[in-house]
Structure formats: structure tokens, C-alpha cells
Amino acid sequence: MPFKFEETDIKEVKIIIPKVFEDKRGYFCETYKQSDFLKNGIKEVFVQDNQSYSKKNVLRGLHYQLPPYQQGKLVRCISGEIFDVAVDIREGSETFKKWIGINLSSVNKKMIYIPPGFAHGFYTLSETATIHYKVTEEYAPEYDSAIKWNDEDIGIEWPSGEKIVSEKDRNAKSLREAKLL
């Protein structure tokens, strides 16, 4: 199998490590194979690919889309390094408000699967970083939403350093004020 699927403290969120074939020319790895993902409980169909470029200390998030356009995401860092976060915002879930954070980089090649029902954000650790992610629903601006990245009810332990945040993310609502799923 070209992937190792690791469980996290939130059973629906998975860390995925591709098998990397390296030699003196470089490397090759598969980054998605539907049959392997299905065998590991990831049934969503990915319909759009996105790429994001960020400079050091940029923090993006916590973003999500409201029903009926909730997005699942498969996130990987193709250059540089980020601290990537998934937050369970499903009211009534036994893991509501819990979060998972992991460093993704072009060196470790790890990916994170974030199912629908979760908010997503990341913080750039390297001088620059390029993120590639697949989503299970197309972007729908009228259903786009965000929660404050530093919401006290969630308590994410972001890496230290300056936080460069967009106006949209600076003005995001708290978890208590936000429309959830």
C-alpha cells in the first residue's frame, strides 16, 4: 500500500504518510489513490484542487463552509513548512471544540485529511510555504465562514511568533457567535 494512515485523537481526522520512492534522481510518491482512501474510511469524492502560497508568520483560518457546501479537505505542504489545524465544529459531537495540530512540510510529506464538519487553518513556519489541498465541495462564497483563530473556547496552541492575519480572519466571529454545522 502506498500510504500509511494514522489515527488521531479525533477519529475522523487522519494523518496520511505516502510511501516515498527515492533514488539519486529524486523521488516519487502517490499523493491520492481513491481505492486506498476508501479502504481507510475516507469515502468523500474530491471535486476541486486548490493551492495557496504564504510567507513566514502568515496565519490563515479558521475557515469552513456551511451546509449544504461543507468541505472535507486533504491538505499537504509542497514547499516549506506549516502548522496545520483541524477543529471539530459539529455541535453535539463528542469531540466538539477539540483540535488536532500537525506540522506538514515538503520534507516529511505528511498529509492531513479533514472531514466535512471541521474548521481548518494553518500557520507558516518557513520563509514561504505552498499548500496544495483537495476539497469535497466547490468553493461557495455565500456559504464561506470563519471562526477567530485565537478563540479561547477552542484554545489552539499555535507556534510562537508574529501572526500575520487577513482582515477577514481578524474580524471572524467567536465559536459562540458563529453559525455552526
Question: Where in the sequence numbering do the catalytic residues fall?
Answer: 63, 133
DSSP single-letter state for residue 98? -
Q: What is the DSSP string of 32-52?
A: --HHHHHHTT--PPP-EEEEE
Cell triple for 164: 500575520
Burial group, residue 98, by CB count within 10 angstroms (0-12, 13-18, 19+): middle
**b/e string for 102-119 if b means 16 or more Cβ within 10 A?**
bbbbeeebbbbbbbbbbb
